[in-house]
Amino acid sequence: MRPTYLEVNLPQLKQNLEAIRAKVAPAKVMAVLKANAYGHGVDGVAPYIAPYTDYIGVAIVEEGIHLREMGIEKPILVMGGTLSEQIPAFIQHDLTLAASSMQLLEAAEQAARAAQVKLKVHLKIDTGMERLGVHEYEAEPFISRSLSCSHLNIEGIFTHFANSDSADLTHARLQLERFQAVLHIYEELGAPHPPLRHTANSGAILQLPESYFDMVRPGVMFYGVYPGRGVRKTVEVKPALTWHSRVVYSKITKPGRPVSYGSLWQSEVPARIVTIPCGYADGYFRRMTDHAQVIVNGKKYPQVGRVCMDQFMVNLGGDEAGVGDEVILLGAGITAEDFADWTGTNEYEVMTNIGARVPRVFIG
Ligand SMILES: Cc1ncc(COP(=O)(O)O)c(C=O)c1O
């Protein structure tokens, strides 16, 4: 019954996914549901969206196991780094492994052989992110070996862009060229390439149609937020989050009585100061202090004084508001971009930091 809660508009997420699908068809779509569905609450998002997505992407094996335990049956790719001792969990839960090294490929083959199963694998190629994957210039032996792994179903091959959301696509195009060269290795070997070739994150979906191949991997834009300020908005998507709260305390503060820890801010005239039950432990960053704006009863006001762990204050000036009145922290004209600007971070970090303590209320 917490008055501070996150409203998640599930039909809007579906609409975003459909807009992406219309743009990339006939390519398939992998909805990226890592990091608690970018903060939206995977327990509500996953069951709702599963029928509409071809594949699901997560970062770590635990996220994949969680989805399986919820009863999600769609294929799930664990895109992040994996240790060989985690491979049995992939087998047990029918998760797809991103094989990012020869050693991991060998370990996967061995584990699958021992379990007498066929494990689904996507080969991860590093074309210029320098995070995970076999470099394109060392891909030939990796691909050759993958073709002889009898207990692996090499279903996909992929890479990840470092700068596909920027105005200058030089590096993204270079990465794409390197990926194309890797795919040529299959021709040289006289073998078919894996059926799922994929590279495109949100930036590439918006700006690089030649990167779609067989599947795309939208994260941030599935949630209705664009991956960068200068990015070309070639697909219309809308945010699905509204972060609500209510006034828990309302009073007049006199001049000479500074507000909150550190006594950093005070009003020069008597002012109506209201207290909102949400703080940095909820992902309302302390760095928001004296930068954020909040909607109280439909009107925007400045946050004042240091944001505390569980509460912060808002200056209504000469306006009135009482205990229980409606407050909107995010949504209704306040965007994740605003939060990012107020805190010097990006929209991804804003959304994924909305705390576990904030209940998610799913609409639809
Ligand atoms: C491998 C991979 N693919 C796709 C995505 C989705 O990226 P975005 O949220 O920019 O669309 C991510 C997210 O970081 C990722 O790590």
In a domain, 362, yes or no: no
Last residue of a domain, one of 149, 182, 216: 216
Residue 268: exposed, middle, or buried by beta-carbon count in 10 A (0-12, 13-18, 19+)?
exposed
Residue with tokens 């094996």: 61
Rounded-to-integer distance, Cα 82 and Cα 110, Å? 15
Is residue 191 situated within a structural domain? yes
Helix axes of 61-69 and 42-49: crossing angle, nearest 10 degrees: 70
Within this chain, do residues 282 and 144 fall inside the same structural domain, yes or no?
no
* Ligand 1 center–CA 208 separation, angstroms: 15
**Would you say residue 356 lies in a domain?**
no
Look at phi and psi of residue 283 and say left if phi exceeds 0, alpha if psi is from -120 to 50, else beta: left
Q: Is residue 2 part of a domain?
A: no
What is the pLDDT, as a whole number, of residue 268?
Answer: 97
For residues 252 and 330, membership in a common domain is answered with yes
Ligand 1 atom with the shortest distance to the CA of 59: 16
Cβ atoms 95, 65 nearer than 8 A: yes
Q: Are residues 169 and 298 in the same domain?
A: no
Residue 286 and residue 187 share a domain: no
23 as an active site residue: the answer is no
Beta-strand (E) ranges in 96-151?
A: 96-99, 119-126, 134-135
| 166 belongs to a structural domain | yes
Residue 348 falls in the annotated catalytic set: no
Report which protein residue has its CA nearest ligand 1's atom 13: 219
The answer to whether the beta carbons of residues 113 and 106 sit under 8 Å apart is no
Q: Is 188 exposed, middle or buried (0-12, 13-18, 19+ CB in 10 A)?
A: exposed
Please tell me the distance from the alpha carbon of residue 308 to that of residue 311, in angstroms, as a whole number: 5
Mutation test residue for ligand 1: of 166, 217, 234, the one with most atoms within 8 Å of CB: 217
Q: What is the CATH number of the domain that holds 286?
A: 2.40.37.10
Å from CA of 160 to ligand 1 middle: 8
pLDDT at residue 37 in the model: 98
72, 173: one domain: yes
Q: What is the pLDDT, as a whole number, of residue 246?
A: 98
Query: Structure pTM?
Result: 0.97
- Domain annotation covers residue 172: yes
Tell me: do 285 and 208 sit in the same domain: no
d(CA 325, CA 6): 17
Could you say which of 137, 238, 261, 299 is catalytic? 261
Taking only Cα atoms into account, the Rg of the chain, rounded to an integer number of angstroms, comes to 24
- The pLDDT, as a whole number, for residue 1 is 86
**CA dihedral of 220, 226, 228, 231, whole degrees rounded to 10:** 130
Q: Which of 34, 55, 120, 301 is catalytic?
A: 34
Let me know whether 40 and 134 are in one domain.
yes
Identify the domain containing residue 200 by its residue range.
Answer: 10-216
Residue 152 lies in a domain: yes
Contact 101, 108 (CB under 8 A): no
Together in a domain, 191 and 260: no
Crossing angle, helix 42-49 and helix 10-24, to 10 degrees?
50
Tell whether 342 is covered by a domain. Answer: no
Rounded distance from Cα 219 to ligand 1 centre (Å): 5
What string of DSSP letters covers 327-357? EEEEBTTB-HHHHHHHHTS-HHHHHHTS-TT
Q: What size, in residues, is the chain?
A: 364
Q: Is the CB of 79 under 6 A from ligand 1?
A: yes
Say if residue 128 is in the same domain as residue 24.
yes
Per residue in 8-33, pLDDT (tens digit) is 999 999 999 999 999 999 999 999 99
Does 77 sit in the ligand 1 pocket, CB within 6 Å? no
How many domains, in total, are found in the chain?
2
Determine the distance separating the centroid of ligand 1 and the alpha carbon of 205, expressed in angstroms: 11
Over the chain (364 residues), the average pLDDT of each successive run of 10 is 97 98 98 98 98 98 98 98 98 98 98 98 98 98 98 98 97 98 98 98 98 98 96 98 98 98 97 98 96 97 98 98 98 97 97 98 96
